[in-house]
A and B are shown apart, each in its own frame.
Chain A
Amino acid sequence: VKITIDGVTTDVEGGTILDACRRVGIDTPTLCYGDTLTPVNVCRVCVVELEGARALVPACSRKVADGMVVHTDSPRVRTSRRLVLELLGSSVDLSTAPEALAYIERYEAKPGRFGPESLTVAQPVKVDNELYVRDYSKCILCYKCVEACGVDHQNTFAIAIAGRGFDAHISTELDVALPDSACVYCGNCVAVCPTGALMAKSEFDLREAGTWDESRQSQVDTVCPYCGVGCNLTLHVQDRGIVKVTSPDDHDVTRGNLCIKGRFGYRYVHNR
């Protein structure tokens, strides 16, 4: 199908407006979109102007159609992206969300404009197990963790959205602590979290101690030693110790996912 984006007409074989934007080299901001997840189009930072549509449309989920004319940098688009970032920045702690912070700069968003009394989602961090922590004062409700825990990846359904409006939040069943929930500690939610609201306990502890330093970290790709699936692991190493384990998104079998053993069961390596 033929689609015109910012004056450039291009031929694409289906896909979304976001796919087409990437094809023609337009950098579209995304927060709730993930390459391995079904688009939920809730963050609205990827909105674009589609000629003929009354409102802006989310690039991440809107399928291309022949003859579409799209503007990705019009004043309307910029205003929406800027305000969405201001709304997020004024209500959520984005200090460990580098992408969001970069977008705030790019769109010259001023989250402070709503004043010091603005309602936020600030709350104590939930540390209730040894493997990962949940700091929902950093949660932008992108749904990625819910998707990863649910039908997109893990099919465990340990978490969902509870509450309504500004009170909407990620919750385990009946808001029980993780050890009492259906969570299997695969950490696939941690892997997709774009803001650091979900964080490996190892990283959290180092950050608390002030010793987390990505500039001193190296990444080593290897294969998980536990079972025959052979998932790829990326070991994040600092000071000759593993501080975090991730898995590459572009692996066609695991798509960034691991199980509790691959993601968290590495301490034996240090058992010298």
Chain B
Amino acid sequence: MTETTVRVAEGPALVLAGYEGEPLTSLAAYRAVGGYEQLEKARAQDPQAVIQEIIESNLRGRGGAFFPTGRKASFIPTPDKIAKPIYITVNADESEPGTFKDREIMLKVPHRLIEGCLVAAHAIQSKHVYIYIRGEYAEEYRVLQAALDEARDAGLLAGVEIVMHRGAGAYICGEETALLESLEGKRGQPRSKPPFPAISGVYAAPTLINNVESITTIPPVLAVGPAEFAQIGAPPDSTGTRLFCLSGNVARPGLYEVELGTSLRVLLELADAAPAKAVLLGGAAGSFLRPDQLDLTLSFEAAREAGVTLGSGVVIVFGEQADLVAALLRIAEFFRDESCGQCVPCRVGTVRQEEALHRLASGKASGDERAILADLTQVMRDASICGLGQTAANAVASAVENLGVFA
């Protein structure tokens, strides 16, 4: 396995704090950088107070939807309100093309993820944590399981059970409700929302679902203090740091932890990117930027204003020599292959999208392709059940509209 460059680039290290080239996989190594101190502090506090701190920090979900993490936790009923177990499910089914941040968290700072799980478990008074890990992540599973065993042996779990569950290779199972179905042993297909998992999640019980990076950011939030955390990055909404996954035509591909609000340009320079004719931001479900848009501020607000998304922190650089049409065909093929097939817009729409692109790419266009792609973009976004279908046309649409591919 080749080593991925992982570095804290700009500003304070939070998620990767203490990591300086040597993975903090042992309990001793993690303890040496202050590990599990926040857990101890949190457990001495009232659970509601911990939720309040997360709310105050304005930590937002790092899986891509940017939902306030503290508010999500506050939706979970307290045990006196409901006669059901309360679950936490960590989404470690990292499958967005170009994304490898959760992988590196699990390999480099696995105990911080476990600490985050235990703090969250205390906050919502849960005794049951599932970590749903991508099936292909064999080494990551082993490292995290070893860390978990060590934490358990050290008595850190204190009655909380953390169970790892390995996925079986479906992108759709990264969608939170499909993940729940899969976890329950069913076919991985999204559920209709509402009800939301906070009310009816795994086994129809209240469930807090968070991305690995979100959960792992909780101990640092408590470490620096929520008020201080809320000042890091691009307050008020984009607080803290994010892990960005740099790949493509860059000399130093890897994972970079930078403050939110950093310019994309800075990130590209850190990775020594080649002059780009396009940058894919947010993954296959994200969108393409033009060369004149590369000064974008990496914050939720700036991204939204530019009509793009930071998604799961993917930055793929397409240099002058890159074949954008081939990339688009590959993305379309990916979604066609990974659609679960439940709803019509995504099941058939992803096929029609790929077909239209092939016609455009091979010079067999009938002339209607642009209109077909525009319709598909709107309707997959509007009428698909889940986020997969709703974003399956994003990259293609942005390439057509923003880059002028096929113009």
Contacts and interface: CB of A to CB of B under 8 A. Distances in A.
Given A79-B375, A87-B344, A91-B348, A165 B355 contact: no
Contacts of A141: 341, 344, 347
Interface residues of B, number: 36
27 contacts: A44-B343, A44-B384, A44-B385, A47-B383, A55-B383, A55-B390, A56-B383, A80-B382, A80-B383, A83-B345, A83-B376, A87-B345, A87-B348, A87-B349, A87-B352, A88-B348, A115-B359, A118-B355, A141-B341, A141-B347, A164-B341, A165-B340, A165-B341, A166-B350, A166-B351, A168-B342, A168-B347
Given A42-B344, A55-B382, A87-B349, 10 more contacts: A44-B385, A47-B383, A61-B192, A83-B349, A115-B366, A119-B355, A161-B187, A165-B341, A166-B350, A168-B341
Interface in B323-351: 336-345, 347-351
Interface in B190-210: 192, 194
A25 interface: no
B345 A55 contact: no
Given A118-B355, A165-B336, A166-B351, A84 B345 contact: yes
A164 B170 contact: yes
Give the interface SS of chain B, mostly helix, strand, loop or mixed: helix
A161 B379 contact: no
Interface of B: 170, 187, 192, 194, 336-345, 347-352, 355-356, 359, 366, 368, 372, 375-376, 378-379, 381-385, 390
A80 B378 CA distance: 8
Contacts of B344: 42-45, 84, 87-88, 140-141
A114 B379 CA distance: 15
Given A87-B345, A118-B355, A113 B340 contact: no
A93 to B, nearest CB: 14
Given A44-B383, A80-B379, A114-B352, A165 B337 contact: yes
Contacts of A140: 344
Interface of A: 41-45, 47, 55-56, 58, 61, 63, 76, 79-80, 83-84, 87-88, 90-91, 113-115, 117-119, 140-141, 160-161, 163-168
B347 A166 contact: yes
B169 to A, nearest CB: 10
Contacts of B368: 113
B112 to A, nearest CB: 33
Given A44-B345, A161-B187, A166-B348, A83 B375 contact: yes
Nearest to B349: A87
A167 B341 contact: yes
Contact of A58 (B192, B339, B379, B381): B192
B110 to A, nearest CB: 31
A47 B292 CA distance: 38
Contacts of B375: 79, 83
Contacts of A87: 344-345, 348-349, 352
A61 B385 CA distance: 12
Contacts of B372: 113-114
Contacts of B341: 141, 161, 163-168
B195 to A, nearest CB: 9
Contact of A114 (B192, B343, B355, B385): B355
A58 B337 CA distance: 25
